[in-house]
Structure 1
C-alpha cells in the first residue's frame, strides 16, 4: 500500500515557518522580531505568535513549558507596557510591548542565539542553516536531549529540520518506542514524524498486530490510518479473506 504523505506536509507548515532561511546576513542577535498575544478561543489556550519577516510561529501559553511560566504570568496581566524573556538552550528571546487587555497585545523582540548550543548541534550533524532555525528551536522546544533520545530510539534526526519537526509535533523517544512492535518496522525519523502527524499511536499499531499484520512499513501504516482503516476493520477484512464469519 503506497499513500503519499500529503497530510504530513500540511501539518508541519505552521510550526516550521520560523525556520525559513534568511536572505540577509546571519548575526548572532536577531532584532527584527514581532510578537502578538491572542486570547483563548472556545476551550483553547491563549497563544503567543512570534514572527520575523515573512515567517511566523504560534506557541500555546498553557503552562506545559516551564520556560514560558514568566511569559504566561506577564501576558495575563492588566493593560499597559510589558516585558518578558524566554530563556532556552537555543538562546534568549527578550520582548517588550503593550497589552490592551489580558492576552491581547503586541510588541517587538530580540533573540540572542547560544553559540554553545549551536556547537552541540554541529557535533551531531545538526548544524542550523541560519540562526532563524535556532529561534524556531526555542519556539518548538527542540533540544539536544531530544536529538540524543531519538537517536537512541533508532530514529536519528538527519538535520536540524528533522529535529524542529519532531519537537513541533511532540515526537518523543517514548512515543517512538511505543510505536515499535512486530506489526511495524520503524527506522527513520521521517516515518516517526509522519505517524505522529496522522495520530498513529502504539495502541493503533498493536491493534494491527492483533489483527494479523506483521512487519508493515511505516508508509503502509500511515496509509491505513489515512484511509480510516481501524484494527477492527482490519480483523473483519482478514476474516472475510479467510472465509470465516467469526
Structure 2
C-alpha cells in the first residue's frame, strides 16, 4: 500500500505543479511575442533574457478583448506597424509595445502591481506580495473573489503561493461554493488544491453517493479520482459478489489491474478469492511475466 500511496502522490504532484516561470523574478527585461494560432484567440509568449539566454516565463492564449488596445486588424494585416496592448487584472497590469503584422508581433513589456490588490490581501491577513509573487498573481490571474470565497467557506488564510496553486488548477469561487453546498470542505487548502487538480466535481461525488458510497472522506475521494475509479468499476465487482469493498481495496485492485474478468479467470469453484489474494495473484503473475 505504501507503493500505492507514493504513486497517487506522484499523480497529484504532476497535476498541481505550477510552472516556476509564473513566479520568476521581474527585475529582468520582459519581452512578448505574438505567434499565429488558429481560431479567434491571440497566443502570446512572455520571455526574459538571463545571461544571454531566453527563458519562457509565461505563455497563454487570450481573447482579443483581454488585450486592451490591441489593433487586431493591424496585427493580422501584411506589413509591419507599431502595436500596443495592456493586460489588466486584479493583481496588476502588464503594458506592452512593439511592432508586428501577418499575425505576428514582438516587443517589450512592463509590469505594475496593483496597490489596491496588495492592500486587499493585507486586509485579509495575507502578506503583501513580493515583486516575484506579483508577477505570478498577474500571470495566473488570481482574483479577489477567490480570496472572498475561501473566507466565506472558512478555509485557513491562504499564502500567496497557495492562491497561485488554487488558480492554476482552476479552483473558482463557484467550485468552492458548490462543494460547500454538497457538504464537502477539505480541512486543508492543500486538499482543495488536490480536488481542483483532479477535477473532483460535485457530480463525481454524487455518483459515489448513489452507488452506496456516501459521505466519503476527502482523502478517499482523492484516491478514487487519482486512480480513475468510477461507480461502474465498483458495480462490476458487486455483480460477481464483492459487496461494498473498502476504498483502499478498490484502489489496490485498480492499481494492480485486477478486473472482474481476472477474478473469473483465477476463481476456483464457487468461492470468491479475497481481494488481498487477488492482488497477490496479480503481483506474482506480473513478476513472472517480467522475468
Number of aligned pairs? 233
CA distance in 1, matches of 2:225, 2:186: 15
- Of the three residues 34, 37, 40, the one matched with 2:34 is 37
- For the residue of structure 2 that corresponds to 1:212, the secondary structure is coil
1:95 maps to which residue?
96
1:236 maps to which residue?
236
Structure-2 change in CA distance of 1:10 and 1:242 (3 Å): closer
Higher RCO, Cα 8 Å, sep 6+: 1
Deviations 1:194-226 (A, max 9, x none): 122222222111111111113323232122112
CA distance in 1, matches of 2:83, 2:133: 26
CA distance in 2, matches of 1:189, 1:172: 13
1:48 maps to which residue?
44
- For the residue of structure 1 that corresponds to 2:33, the secondary structure is strand
Deviations 1:12-63 (A, max 9, x none): 445552214x3xxx8xxx561121223226x794422223455612232136
Deviations 1:48-98 (A, max 9, x none): 2223455612232136xx643544847854343211112222222110122
CA distance in 2, matches of 1:44, 1:234: 43
CA distance in 2, matches of 1:125, 1:241: 50
Conservation of the 8 A alpha-carbon contact between 2:91 and 2:113: yes
- For the residue of structure 1 that corresponds to 2:139, the secondary structure is helix
- For the residue of structure 1 that corresponds to 2:242, the secondary structure is helix
CA distance in 2, matches of 1:187, 1:58: 33
- For the residue of structure 1 that corresponds to 2:97, the secondary structure is strand
The answer on 1:116 being equivalent to 2:112 is no
2:211 maps to which residue?
211
Conservation of the 8 A alpha-carbon contact between 1:18 and 1:135: yes
RMSD over aligned Cα atoms: 3.2
Compare CA radii of gyration and give the structure with the larger one: 2
- For the residue of structure 2 that corresponds to 1:4, the secondary structure is helix
1:68 maps to which residue?
67
Conservation of the 8 A alpha-carbon contact between 1:113 and 1:134: yes
Instruction: Determine which structure has the larger strand proportion and give its number.
Output: 1
Deviations 1:145-176 (A, max 9, x none): 21111221243452011111222222112212
In structure 2, runs of 5+ residues without a counterpart are: 245-291
2:84 maps to which residue?
83
TM (norm. structure 1) is: 0.78
Instruction: Determine which structure has the larger helix proportion and give its number.
Output: 2
CA distance in 2, matches of 1:55, 1:38: 14
In structure 1, runs of 5+ residues without a counterpart are: none
- For the residue of structure 2 that corresponds to 1:162, the secondary structure is helix
Structure-2 change in CA distance of 1:181 and 1:204 (3 Å): farther
